């Protein structure tokens, strides 16, 4: 049973942003500090990556663990109410993530996914980003 009324749940879900989220801003600031310059949400690149590096043909996506089903405590949590709806939604998200990765590869791009929970370890993310962008 949901602890919030339908109106409260609707209001809470309406607040979930798709762009310029805190994790995305945090990663953007980290990448900028490392000296890399990027473009945000380029619609001409498959998947509209959170950070795009057109000259390098690299794209970075910041995935929320809950929404994209990461194998961490947040990603394993599933709402108890409307379970069928959530299962379908999560499956669509995962299917879309694979399709975007395939489309990027076909277009000659490489993609990196940074999970929301990984942003707690700045050094790890810095190493991943440097390795990915300098390859």
pLDDT bin (cut points 50, 70, 90) of residue 108 is very high
Buried b / exposed e across 28-45, counting CB within 10 Å, b at 16+? Answer: bebbeeeebebeeebeeb
What is the per-residue pLDDT for 74?
A: 84
Cα separation of the two ends of the chain: 49
Q: With 90 as the cut, is the pLDDT of residue 7 above it? A: no
Taken in order of first residue, the domains within the chain and their CATH numbers are: 6-134 (3.40.960.10)
| pTM listed for this prediction | 0.85
- Average the pLDDT over 29-44 and give the result: 96
pLDDT digits (tens, 9 = 90+) for 46-104: 999 999 999 999 999 999 999 899 999 888 888 888 889 889 999 999 999 999 999 99
- Average the pLDDT over 10-34 and give the result: 85
For the chain, state the CA radius of gyration.
16
Average pLDDT, the chain: 91
């Amino acid at each position: 049973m949901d602890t919030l009324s339908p109106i409260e749940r609707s209001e809470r879900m309406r607040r979930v942003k798709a762009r310029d989220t805190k994790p995305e801003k945090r990663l953007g600031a980290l990448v900028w500090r490392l000296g890399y310059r990027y473009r945000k949400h380029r619609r001409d690149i498959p998947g509209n990556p959170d950070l795009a590096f057109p000259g390098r043909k690299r794209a970075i996506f910041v995935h929320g663990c809950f929404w994209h089903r990461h194998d961490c405590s947040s990603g394993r949590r599933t709402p108890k109410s409307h379970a069928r709806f959530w299962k379908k939604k999560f499956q669509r998200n995962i299917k879309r993530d694979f399709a975007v990765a395939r489309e990027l590869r076909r277009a000659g791009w490489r993609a990196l996914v940074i999970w929301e929970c990984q942003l707690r370890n700045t050094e790890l993310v810095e190493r991943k980003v440097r390795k990915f962008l300098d390859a």
